[in-house]
Amino acid sequence: MARRRGLRRLAILLLVLVLAAGGIYSAVFFVQRSETLVSERCTAVVGDRRAELAPDQAGFASLITAVAVQRGLPPRAASIALATAMQESKLRNIAHGDNAGPDSRGLFQQRPSQGWGTEAQIMDPYYAVNAFYDALVKVPGYESLDITDAAQRVQRSAYPTAYAKHEDLGRSFASGLTGQAAAAVQCTLRSADGDGDPAAVLAELGRAYGSLAATDDGGSVVVEAEGAAAWSVAQWAVANAKGLDVVRVDVAGRSWDREDGSWQESPSAGGQVRITMAQASGA
């Protein structure tokens, strides 16, 4: 009898454990489906290369690339700049240096003591990116150099070979963000935090690309562009979707939707990019 009671208690215990495990699984499954735990990320897939960045990093990557486009530089210049910034700052605008350069600042860890500008200038990402390109274009034949060699001639780092490990990332995001590779950059994001501001989008586009034929179309910004230029702007908008509360981008028969996070075929018009922002109506 004692043995039988022991077996019964064991069976009851196992049943309780199974039920508890089922409840835990259901709770975890529910939480995993909750938007609060969505893993936000941006990816660039070009051929067999795939690279990933956090949304804030992708925003800086899009700026670096857009400035190259504005200046008429080849995609190779953007690849070099992206690999450099990833090594120097992890593509973040950091306000401190390291042991090799305690006064280093910003995306490229440029140093006031080495003539890159004042600390305030270097901490302005637009200034820092242009300063990097100003130095890069003075490197003879930089377009044909290995990325790590070109980066080192600009940066003069104590770790000259370190840039090479970011080459695939630089090439992947540069290909997409310059528009050379269509629908290469996409972002998985949570719902927009608030209403988007077309004026803010227009201002950021202007700073990144210079003069554009862009207009506020009531909740959307429409940019007149086609070909690689259109795809550059469209993927810039996706890379900045988190910060600018963008919910949809339409270009050349394709659309990126924030809820889905990927590019899909759509009836979008050619010759323009439409960037749609979140609105109070629930868009």
Average pLDDT over residues 17-32: 41
Go through 212-232 and write b for each residue having 16 or more CB atoms within 10 A of its CB, e for each that does not.
Answer: bebeeeebbbbbebeeebbbb
Q: Is the pLDDT of residue 161 over 60?
A: yes
List, for residues 169-222, the tens digit of each pLDDT value: 999 999 999 999 999 999 999 999 889 999 999 999 999 999 999 999 988 999
List, for residues 132-156, the tens digit of each pLDDT value: 999 999 999 999 999 999 999 998 8
SS3 264: strand
Go through 48-68 and write b for each residue having 16 or more CB atoms within 10 A of its CB, e for each that does not.
Answer: ebebebbbebbbbbbbbbbbb
Average pLDDT over residues 40-53: 96
Average pLDDT over residues 121-140: 97
State the DSSP H helix or E strand holding residue 244, giving kind and residue range, or none if neither.
helix 241-244
Residue found by looking up tokens 């590779």 in the block: 181
- What is the pLDDT at residue 194? 87
- What is the pLDDT at residue 233? 98
Alpha-carbon span 149 to 250, nearest angstrom: 38
Residue found by looking up tokens 């990933």 in the block: 52
Q: Is the pLDDT of residue 128 over 50?
A: yes
Alpha-carbon span 147 to 76, nearest angstrom: 8
- What is the pLDDT at residue 183? 97
Supply the pTM of this predicted model: 0.84
Contact 275, 201 (CB under 8 A): yes
List, for residues 219-261, the tens digit of each pLDDT value: 899 999 999 999 999 999 999 999 999 999 999 999 999 999 9
In terms of Cα–Cα distance, which of 175, 174, 152, 155 is closest to 164?
152
Contact 179, 232 (CB under 8 A): yes
- What is the pLDDT at residue 158? 74
State the DSSP H helix or E strand holding residue 260, giving kind and residue range, or none if neither.
none
Alpha-carbon span 160 to 263, nearest angstrom: 37
Q: Is the pLDDT of residue 29 over 50?
A: no
Average pLDDT over residues 61-66: 98
- What is the pLDDT at residue 261? 95
Alpha-carbon span 164 to 19, nearest angstrom: 52
Alpha-carbon span 130 to 207, nearest angstrom: 12
Q: Is the pLDDT of residue 16 over 50?
A: no
- What is the pLDDT at residue 269? 79
List, for residues 109-120, the tens digit of each pLDDT value: 999 989 999 999
Count how many residues are written for the chain. 283
Alpha-carbon span 248 to 237, nearest angstrom: 9
- CA 92 to chain centroid, in Å, comes to 11
Q: Is the pLDDT of residue 30 over 50?
A: no
Q: Is the pLDDT of residue 101 over 80?
A: no
Q: Is the pLDDT of residue 32 over 90?
A: no
Alpha-carbon span 23 to 238, nearest angstrom: 38
| Tokens representing residue 89 in the block | 């700052």
- What is the pLDDT at residue 24? 40
Q: How confident is the model at residue 10 (pLDDT cuts 50, 70, 90)?
A: low
Contact 220, 274 (CB under 8 A): yes
